[in-house]
Structure 1
C-alpha cells in the first residue's frame, strides 16, 4: 500500500499529473480492500504472490503489444539493473507488511501510519543520500511523528503485536522511495514497473508453495483483480510523478483517507476513532510541508 513518493520527473502537465494521482489513489484503495478481504481466508503471502503474478501478466501483455524492438529498448535502457531489482525487493517487503497489517487492522489505521513514510524518507535521506535537513523540515518531521503517536493511541504492544506491522511497511516503503530516487529517477516508467514486479514475482514465487491453500472458484476473479489493480495503480503513480512535480501531486494521494474510510465502513463495518483523524491531520500537514519545501 503506497504513499506520496519523493521521486519526480517534472514535465509541465500538472492537470494530467493530478488526474493520474487521483486515479492511482482510488485504485490503491480498491486493491487494498480486495487484499483485506482475501487475507481473511488465505495467507497474506499467497495474496502477495497473486498481486505480483497478476502484475507481470498484465504488464507482460502490454509489453507484447508494444512489439519486441521497442520493448527490448525500454528494458535495456535502465541505468542500474541491480538497483531496480533492489527497488522491487523493498516494494515486496512493504507489500508483505501491508498485507499482514490489512488482515488484522482497519484500512484507515494502516493508511494513516503509512502516510508517515515521507517523514522517514526525510530522516533516512540524511545518512543514505547525504542530504541536509533544515530546521523547519526537522520540525515538520517531529510534528508528523507526534501525529503517528496520536493516531496509534495507547497500545500494549505485547498484546497487540499486529499494530507494529504498518511501521514495518512504512519503513520499507521509505527505503523503496529512496532507492527509486537513487536508481530509477531517469529510467523509463515501464522499465521501473517491470523490474520492480519481476523481483517481487520471483521472490514471492520461491516462498508461496509453503503457504499455499487451494483457491475457491468464487475467489479466482478477486485474485485476478488484485493482480491487475497492482500493475495499473503503480503505473498511474509513476506517470503522475513524470507529468508534474511530486510536491504538486503527492498531496492528492491523501484523499485515500476518504476512500479508506468509506471502504472500511461499507465493506468491513470499521468505524474510525477521532484520534485516528487528529493524528492523520498532523501527519498529512507535515507531509505536505515537506513536499512543498522540495520544490
Structure 2
C-alpha cells in the first residue's frame, strides 16, 4: 500500500517532463500503476510473512535508490544538480518517514491481510485534506470537513471498535495512512523550495540509507525461489514509478487521481484469490464510504483549482 518502492500516488514527478494532457492515456497508465503496486503489495505480504520485514524492505530500497540515482544522472546537471537542496534535514526526514510508513504497511499485510489493510489505508487522501490546514495553513471548507468526517465513519465501520473484542492490530493500517498523509504534506511543503526531482532523489537515497542501517542487522538466508520473488518485487517498484511518471507526463494529477482507488480492487482480488482472505460485509461497506468521500474531496479540490 504502499501506494505505495511504494511511494504510491503522492510521489512527485520529475519537473523536466512536458505534460501532453492526454487524459485517456493518463488514466490507463494510472490503472496499470495500481495493478503493479497491488502486485507489489501481494509479494511483500508473502516475503514479509517468511522473512524479517526490515530485510525485505531494505533490499527493495537498494533497487529503488539505484532507480532514483539513475534518473538523477540523466537529468540536466546530473546527480549534483538534482541533489542540491537548502533544506536537507527536511528532505532526509521525508525519506525516513516514507520508509518507516512502508514498514508499518507491510507489517499490517502480515497480521491483517491485504483486504483489510488496504481498505483502511485508502483513507489517506482524507487525512491529507484534514491535516493540510494545521500543517500547511491551507483553508479547509465545511464541505471537505463533512467528507472527511464521513470517510472516518467508514474507517470506524471497518475497525468496529465497539463490537465484540476490538483487535488493536486493526489500528496499524490507519497509522500507516496517517504517516503517509503526513509524508504527502511534507512533500508539498518541500516543493515550495525544491524541485520534484530533488525530492524524488532524496526519497530514495535517504530511505535506502536509513533502511540499510536497520535492516542489515536482520539479514537472514533466503531460498532461491524467494530470491526470484524479491527480484520481481524490486522490478515492480521501478515499473510502478515509471508508470506514474509517464502517467503524470500524459495528464494532470487531478484528472487521473480518482483512478488510484483501483488499487483497492486489485489488492482485494489478490487477497481473496491468492491468500484466501475473506471480504467481510463491514469492510466492503466501510471501504465504499471511504472511496466515495475521497472522490468527493478530490472533486472539490479540482473545482476550487
Alignment TM-score, normalising by the size of structure 2:
0.86
Contact kept? 1:38, 1:47, Cα under 8 Å: yes
- Quick check: 2:34–2:263 contact (8 Å CA) kept in 1? yes
State the 1:95 CA deviation. 0.2
Distance across 1 between alignment mates of 2:149 and 2:88: 36
Bigger mean CA deviation after superposition, 211-220 or 242-251:
242-251
Question: Would you say 1:45 and 2:50 are equivalent positions?
Answer: no
The runs of 5 or more residues in structure 2 that have no matched partner are none
> Given the alignment of the two structures, is residue 74 of structure 1 paired with residue 82 of structure 2, yes or no?
yes
| Residue pair 1:79, 1:183 contacting (<8 A) in 2 also | no
Number of residue equivalences = 293
CA distance in 2, matches of 1:268, 1:256: 17
Shift of 1:292: 1.2
Structure 1: any 5+ residue segments left out of the alignment? none
Q: Distance in 1 between matches of 2:155 and 2:279?
A: 15
- Give the whole-Å Cα distance in 2 for the aligned partners of 1:245 and 1:186: 21
Following TM superposition, by how much is the alpha carbon of 1:184 offset from its aligned partner in structure 2, in angstroms? 3.2
Q: 2:142 matched to which residue of 1?
A: 135
Match of 1:100 in 2: 107
CA distance in 1, matches of 2:182, 2:40: 22
Q: 1:27 aligns with which of 26, 32, 36?
A: 36
Residue 244 (structure 1) aligned with residue 290 (structure 2): no
Which residue of structure 2 aligns with residue 203 of structure 1? 210
Q: Sort the Cα spacing of 1:198 and 1:44 in 2 relative to 1 into closer, same or farther, 3 A.
A: same
Contact 2:160 2:166 in 1 (8 A): no
SS where residue 268 of structure 1 aligns? coil
Change (3 A) 1:172 1:269: same
**How far did residue 219 of structure 1 move?**
1.2
Q: Output the CA distance in 2 between the equivalents of 1:136 and 1:252.
A: 22
Measure, in 2, the Cα distance between the counterparts of 1:234 and 1:282. Answer: 28
CA contact (8 A) 1:52 1:230 kept: no
Q: Is the 8 A contact 1:189 1:238 kept in 2?
A: no
After superposition, give the CA deviation of every residue in 1:158-215 in whole Å (9 maximum; x if it has no partner): 8733212101110110011101111136855544332101111100111113322112
SS at match of 2:138: coil
1:1-295 map, 5 Å: 1-2=2-3, 5=10, 11=19, 12-61=21-70, 66=74, 69-76=77-84, 80-154=87-161, 160-184=167-191, 189-241=196-248, 243-295=250-302
In 1: Cα distance, 2:77 partner to 2:138 partner = 39
Q: After superposition, give the CA deviation of every residue in 1:75-115 in whole Å (9 maximum; x if it has no partner).
A: 44x57443332221121121011011011112121111111
After superposition, the Cα gap between the structure-2 partners of 1:179 and 1:194, relative to the gap in structure 1 and judged at 3 Å, is same
Separation (CA, whole Å) in 1 of partners of 2:200 and 2:287: 29
Give the 3 Å change call, closer, same or farther, for CA 287–159 of structure 1 in structure 2: closer
104-113 vs 16-25, which deviates more?
A: 16-25
Q: 2: CA distance between counterparts of 1:293 and 1:14?
A: 19
